[in-house]
Each structure stands twice: as C-alpha cells, then as structure tokens.
Structure 1
Amino acid sequence: MTGPLLRAENLRKDYKLSRGQKLRALDNVSFDVMPGEVLGLVGESGCGKSTLGRCLLRLTELSSGRITFDGQDISFLSERALRPLRRQIQMVFQDSYASLNPRRRIADLIAEPLCVHRDKNGCKRSGPAIQARLAELMNLVGLPVSALTRYPHEFSGGQRQRINIARALALAPQLVIADEPVSALDVSVQAQIVNLFTDLREQLGLTYVFIAHDLAVVRQISTRVAVMYLGAVVELGDTDTVLHTPAHPYTVALISAVPEPVIRHAASRTLLHGDVPSPISPPSGCRFHTRCPHAETLCSAKAPDLHLLSDGRLVACHFPLMENL
C-alpha cells in the first residue's frame, strides 16, 4: 500500500447544548496516517484528543468531514456496512479496569470479538481455534496462559492494560487507536507498556494513533506528532522536529511545562497566562491568541490555516517561530 492507511479531512464535531448553544469539540482537523507509523496526538485536557479518537473509530458520529480507511470512505457508513471494518480498527482505552467486565473471566473477554466476528473465510471459529488464538495473544502481551481463567480484579493496572491490548489484537487489526493507555499507570509500568506497544508494532506491522498528554511518552513511541489546541491541530510533523524545534508558541509552552531533573531558570520557560477559552465561545481569529506571548493584531482578526514550512511540518500560526527552524 503506497497511500495513507487512514486519512482525516476537515473533521468537525459539534455538541448541541441547552439554549441553542453549540460546543465545537473538533474544528477542521486533517491529517494522514501512513501504514506502519505512529501518530501521537498531544495537547491539554479538553483539547479534543479523545473525541477525535472516538470519531476515527466511529464510536462518536461526525458533524462533518471525511474519514478514509484503506481507501474506503467510512465517514457515514451504516453500522451494518461498517461492521466488516471493525476487525481492522481497534481501540485501547485509558481506564484498564472500566474497559473489562468484572463479572467475566479473561478468556471470555478476549474471546468475545473472536466469537462475534467470523474469520477471513467467513466461517465461525471453532472452540479449539479460539483457544489456540487466546494462548497466542497471551504470549504476545507477556502474560501466562493461566491468566485466562481469572477475573479482572485479580490483576494490577499494568496487567489489565495488557489484557485490553490482547483483546484489541484478537482480530489482527491494521490500526490501533490508543487513548491515553498509560496515563493511569505508574512511571515504571508506563515504560513497560510503551515498550510492549513498540514491540508489537515491529512484530505485527501495526499502525497506531497514540493519544497522550505526556510528551516523554510521545517522544518515545511516535514517529509523527500532531499538537491540538481547543479542537484544532496547530502543529504537525516529525516527532524530533516538532519536539526539539517547535514552531508554534503553544507547542513551545507544552514542552516548557515538562518537569526536568535539573530545574531550568524561569526565563527559559514559556509560561501561559490565563485559562483555556471556552469551546462554546472561542476567541475570534487564532484561538490561541489570548494566551500567546507573540500575538499581534492579525492574530485576533484572522484564523491561521495549517501551512507548510520549509522543513516539511505543518503549522497553524501567522508568525511561526522561524528562529527555531
């Protein structure tokens, strides 16, 4: 496959509120995800990352825009037409415990998609075939086969996330959307799960959309990064380029907020003042201009489009920080 595995074009998601108000959670979001790559989605809480992930999987319906998966437009397919594609796109959720039915054994939880979906030949899977696949999945995620007879509460948070990953991989998907899969885990366990995602990608040829607020995690696993602010992508490019020489002031502020072992002088940090504007009534022009230390008159009058810089990244800023490039 030479084209993108996943393409998002001008995605919008509006939520209707009382008194005729509207909350725009996604605003003209566009990007491509190539086969085998990892696109990291980062931004503050409430910026629309999780909504975007759910829209890509069609768990949340779009207001407008287009999603193309493996060359097929899936934006507004009926559930019946979408069902055969469900096996190709899976999700790992943030809450490893809430994602698992506490009353069911691990074997039943992981086997559920195998029982619901037929195999590639359109046949129902036999019991022995399902058992063999369960053992294979346990080996992939680093858990003993004996874990299949136990219940979710008998495992640690990291082990439960491994179970969720096994369930997501049960149907051998091409794309996995991981929604903050390590944010609720201890730092040492986070590293183990991130390493597992990396190993599985290399072993199975997976493609990821990896949603996170921890830039250290994103730097470790992602090949490209999309930075979101108030429902829109403000910077998109290769991980090293975006995180080492950020061009958007908001990206600079996110990186400045990362704790370091050696405390930097306050002058070397970019501090954001004020609160995140309400998505119900966002600022005119650039949504970031009310907090941007470099804002000028143009920023409040006109919203910047994502435009290509000389190094290949996309930035939605009238005055990108060219001294970093």
Structure 2
Amino acid sequence: MSAQQAATMTGDAAPLMEVRDLRKTYALPRGQTLKAVDGISLSVMPGEVLGLVGESGCGKSTLGRCLLRLMDVTSGQILFEGRDITTLGERALRPLRTRMQMVFQDSYASLNPRRRIGDLLAEPLRVHPDADGRRRPAAAITARLHELMELVSLPRAALNRYAHEFSGGQRQRINIARALALSPRLVVADEPVSALDVSVQAQIVNLFMDLQARLGLTYVFVAHDLAVVRQISTRVAVMYLGAVVELGATDSVLHHPAHPYSAALTAAVPRPVVGGMRAVPLGGDIPSPIARPAGCRFHTRCPHVQERCRAEEPVLRPVRPGHEVACHFPLPGA
C-alpha cells in the first residue's frame, strides 16, 4: 500500500469529494416518485479508487452522473475540493470540468462518428484555457494529443481515423484519453469494461491502474463485476435500491461481508467446479424503486430477516474500523 493509500485509509487526508444525504428522484405519472438515489452520504479520498457495485437498477450510474453534476440532484450536498457544487449553474461549473471527468460505458456512442479522433480529443483543449488562462496554441495542442496517445498505448496515426475504424477496446482507450486531456483529479468510470470481451476488459482495467499510478488519479469506478472491483478498488460501496448498504475496504467487504446482500453478491460470482462453472443465484426479485419496502430495503430477499427488519430502516454503522454496514443483524464473523 502506498503512503497516499495509507493516508486515505486512516483518514489523514481531506476528501477530494464528499456527498451528504444525496437524493435524486423522478416524478412519475399518477403522483408516483422513483427514488434513484436515496439519501447517500460518502466521501472520496485523494488517490483512492471507490468501487460502486450492485445489481442493475440500484442507482450506481445515476449516482456517478450526479457526482459530476451531469444531472441535477433533488436534495443533499456535493462538495468537490471543499467547494459546494450542488447548485452551481453551468457557467460556474465550467472551470471545474477540467478537474473532474467521466468515462462512459458505451465507447462508440461516446464518440462523434463524423469527426476524426484528433478533433474529438483536441476539442476540450480548445474550449478550456490553460493554467495561465490563455488559449493553447496549435503546437501545444498537437503535443498534448501525442502525449495522450502514448498514455493509452495507441499510435499517433489513430488521430486521423474515425471511431468506426477501431475495436471496442481501442475506442474505450480513446474515451479515456479524452477524459485525461485536461489533467483531471477525479475520473468517474461508468461500467467502462462491461461491454468488452474478457481479455480486453483485463487490458483496460490494467490501463486504468497504470494511469492512476502514473498520474495520481482518483477514481469512482462503477461496475457489477466483483472480479473487476476486487482488482482495481481501494474501497467498495455496495448499493441496493438507491442506498449504500455496506462501505469499507475492498478486502474487508468482499472477503468478510457484513450485509446479507453483499454476501449474496460475492456468492453469486461464478466459481470453477468439475465440468464447468457454478454460480449461486441471488434469490428473490428486486422490489420496485417506486414502492420500496418499509423497514430494511433488503428484507424481502434476506434469508435472515426478523421483525425489526420489516419495521425499522437500518443506517450505516461501524462493524470494524473503516467498515460500515446498514443492517440490524450483521453477519457473524464480519
């Protein structure tokens, strides 16, 4: 563990980003409300990788977009570098865009098919001034484009080609290069490898890790593949129905889960057995986020449910240093 990571784990550094009781709701017909993000509070420390995991529809991607103010939030607070950005307008947010960027899941839809890659990567360099507030000269932009190609291990000739001329993994490298163009501090990666072949996934994850080590980046890494999360994350936040139900160091959460939902997710990871792979299915159906169950939001699927679970919603509380769980009856040994 690096000194920076040690500071992250012991709380000796100030958060790069902090969210407090964050909520994002959508008004639906007939007076119904969908709670996509439902009262989340957490921090992202400098130099760490916070993995957001959970089943599809749990609110991971919505939370990631809210963090970067790509969508407005309903209530709560977002602090970036100590500054409240919750209600900033687009003009006030524009200078901050240089320090926080996103890599999206769909590598092809993220790139304009009518423009060459060089033009796409140069656009943020032309739109945003340099550190001295001046427009970048053409030579400086060209030099930066060459640096970006080297960072993501693509040839300079790729700058003259179009998105359809690349494989999925190459396109994701281009999206990563674009996210890094302005040297951000924070990168939110929204399922960046889920649409790629397994062998390509490993290459892109290794690229993320290499870039973090070289550039001192901080990531919020959204994923549903626990193997990917285990490889890249410093800490893990497990989400269920719009809320964080477990939060802690990656090894602690994935090897010693305290919440029954986290335990079910780890048990569902396919394991090699004689004759093939076996996965333990997670039982039950996810309740509708429009009509969330009273009490613990997981109690309808929990094998350890008790009466208190049906009546009282648990809050995050420590089960060991740096490890919190929202469960009335944490699993033994957690």
TM-score, normalisation: structure 2: 0.94
Paired amino acid for 1:7: E
Map of 2:55 onto structure 1 = 44
Secondary structure in structure 1 of the residue aligned to 2:272: coil
Are 2:129 and 1:136 aligned? no
Map of 1:284 onto structure 2 = 294
Between the two proteins, the alignment pairs up a number of residues equal to 321
Task: Tell me: CA distance 1:311–1:2, structure 2 relative to 1, closer, same or farther (3 Å).
Answer: closer
Q: Is the 8 A contact 1:252 1:270 kept in 2?
A: no
In structure 2, C-alpha distance between the alignment counterparts of 1:116 and 1:281, rounded to whole Å: 44
Map of 1:66 onto structure 2 = 77
The offset of 1:269, in angstroms, is: 7.8
Are 2:217 and 1:210 aligned? no
Q: Which residue of the other structure, out of 13, 17, 32, is the alignment partner of 1:6?
A: 17
1:237-256 to 2 correspondence within 5 Å? 237-256=248-267
The offset of 1:309, in angstroms, is: 1.3
Q: Is the 8 A contact 2:110 2:175 kept in 1?
A: yes
In structure 1, C-alpha distance between the alignment counterparts of 2:13 and 2:167, rounded to whole Å: 41
Map of 1:146 onto structure 2 = 157
- Structure 2: state its 5+ residue gaps: 1-11
Are 2:333 and 1:324 aligned? yes
Paired amino acid for 1:289: H
Are 2:316 and 1:306 aligned? yes
Task: Tell me: CA distance 1:115–1:246, structure 2 relative to 1, closer, same or farther (3 Å).
Answer: same
Q: Which residue of the other structure, out of 102, 116, 120, is the alignment partner of 1:109?
A: 120
In structure 2, C-alpha distance between the alignment counterparts of 1:33 and 1:176, rounded to whole Å: 11
Q: Which residue of the other structure, out of 185, 193, 199, is the alignment partner of 1:174?
A: 185
In structure 2, C-alpha distance between the alignment counterparts of 1:312 and 1:175, rounded to whole Å: 22
The offset of 1:263, in angstroms, is: 6.4
In structure 1, C-alpha distance between the alignment counterparts of 2:13 and 2:208, rounded to whole Å: 24
The offset of 1:308, in angstroms, is: 1.1
Paired amino acid for 2:96: L
1:154-169 to 2 correspondence within 5 Å? 154-169=165-180
In structure 1, C-alpha distance between the alignment counterparts of 2:173 and 2:77, rounded to whole Å: 32
Sequence identity of aligned pairs in percent?
70
In structure 1, C-alpha distance between the alignment counterparts of 2:262 and 2:80, rounded to whole Å: 28
The offset of 1:193, in angstroms, is: 0.2
* Residues 298-317 of structure 1, C-alpha deviations (whole Å, 9 max, x = no match): 00100000111124301000
Paired amino acid for 1:140: L
The offset of 1:197, in angstroms, is: 0.2
Map of 2:6 onto structure 1 = none
In structure 2, C-alpha distance between the alignment counterparts of 1:87 and 1:263, rounded to whole Å: 51
The offset of 1:19, in angstroms, is: 1.1
Paired amino acid for 1:183: S
Q: Is the 8 A contact 2:270 2:280 kept in 1?
A: no
Q: Is the 8 A contact 1:253 1:269 kept in 2?
A: no
The offset of 1:26, in angstroms, is: 0.6
Task: Tell me: CA distance 1:247–1:195, structure 2 relative to 1, closer, same or farther (3 Å).
Answer: same
Paired amino acid for 1:168: A
The offset of 1:123, in angstroms, is: 0.4
Paired amino acid for 1:101: N
In structure 2, C-alpha distance between the alignment counterparts of 1:270 and 1:195, rounded to whole Å: 28
The offset of 1:262, in angstroms, is: 2.3
In structure 1, C-alpha distance between the alignment counterparts of 2:280 and 2:233, rounded to whole Å: 24
* Residues 150-204 of structure 1, C-alpha deviations (whole Å, 9 max, x = no match): 0000000000000000000000000000000000000000000000000000000
In structure 2, C-alpha distance between the alignment counterparts of 1:262 and 1:5, rounded to whole Å: 43
Task: Tell me: CA distance 1:298–1:142, structure 2 relative to 1, closer, same or farther (3 Å).
Answer: same
Q: Is the 8 A contact 1:110 1:167 kept in 2?
A: yes
- Structure 1: state its 5+ residue gaps: none
The offset of 1:261, in angstroms, is: 1.5
In structure 2, C-alpha distance between the alignment counterparts of 1:135 and 1:66, rounded to whole Å: 38
Paired amino acid for 1:291: R
Q: Is the 8 A contact 2:270 2:279 kept in 1?
A: no
CA-based RMSD of the aligned residues comes to 1.4
In structure 2, C-alpha distance between the alignment counterparts of 1:94 and 1:272, rounded to whole Å: 25
